[in-house]
Amino acid sequence: MSRLKLGVLGSGAGSNMQSIVDAIDRGELDADIKLVLADVPDAKILDRARRHGIPCAYLDCAPFRTKLEGPAEDRCIELLKGAGVDTVVLAGFMRIVKTKLLAAFPERVINIHPALLPAFPGVHSWTQALDYGCKVAGVTVHFVDAGTDSGPILVQKCVKVEENDTPESLHARIQVQEHIAYPEALRIIARGNYRIEGRRVKIG
Ligand code: GRF
């Protein structure tokens, strides 16, 4: 397999993107981040990209508030293709991506979700897990399909829920596992030793 050419989409702090940058720098992931796009003009993920000399831009997604569609989706595809991206990494991107982007990068759009899917899709999933009384929470890296947090699963990591956990403390421990899980999932893709059979991703 050739070196992955990643395009990262985010909305927030960019700690997952940072974990990918760090894995690349340590020689643990055969990839380059070609472009970072954020739908929030002052998102920290853009500052991080600039600090690492990674090309980045703000992507205006108006008039939509929760999805990437219309002219913004077209522009996004154009920018990613223009940068030579072959794999799209959603790293805290707070929008639902639509079929045009998925068709432009078939089986090459990856997402990270802070829960053990299929439990607790959607937002604030760690709070949902806590409120439900789960003893175990976690993180899932999965291929993106047309549903919400529903594509074939690449990597999952468990996090024990402690008696005195708050949403913040649980989320913080989940994030530690996210930063291990995302590079691990991308390593599987970079090595190319997997196949998707229905819902199952068979590795090795
Ligand atoms: C993470 O918890 C991720 O799982 C969720 O959004 C958060 C993004 O964090 N989808 P960051 O921007 O990568 O720090």
Residue nearest to atom 1 of ligand 1 (CA): 92
Whether 41 maps to a domain, the answer reads yes
Residue nearest to atom 3 of ligand 1 (CA): 92
* Domain count across the chain: 1
Note down the domain range covering 179.
4-193
Provide the greatest CA pair distance for the chain.
49
Instruction: Please work out whether the CB of residue 114 comes within 6 Å of at least one atom of ligand 1.
Output: yes
Structure confidence at residue 185 (pLDDT): 98
Give pLDDT < 50 ranges for the chain.
none
Q: Given ligand 1 and candidates 9, 15, 16, which is best to mutate, with the most ligand atoms within 8 Å of its CB?
A: 16
Structure confidence at residue 1 (pLDDT): 64
Whether 28 maps to a domain, the answer reads yes
Name the residues annotated as catalytic. 113
Give the number of the atom of ligand 1 that is nearest the alpha carbon of residue 174.
2
Instruction: Please work out whether the CB of residue 151 comes within 6 Å of at least one atom of ligand 1.
Output: no
Amino acid sitting at position 58: Y
Are the CB atoms for 201 and 194 separated by under 8 Å?
Answer: yes
Strand, helix or coil for residue 201? strand
Whether 130 maps to a domain, the answer reads yes
Are the CB atoms for 97 and 68 separated by under 8 Å?
Answer: yes
C-alpha count within 13 angstroms, C-beta hemisphere, residue 111: 25
Does this model's pTM top 0.85? My answer is yes
28 CA from centroid of ligand 1 (Å): 21
Whether 202 maps to a domain, the answer reads no
Are the CB atoms for 48 and 129 separated by under 8 Å?
Answer: no
Element housing 155 (H / E):
strand 153-160
Structure confidence at residue 3 (pLDDT): 94
**Digit-coded pLDDT (tens) for 98-126:** 999 999 999 999 999 999 999 999 999 99
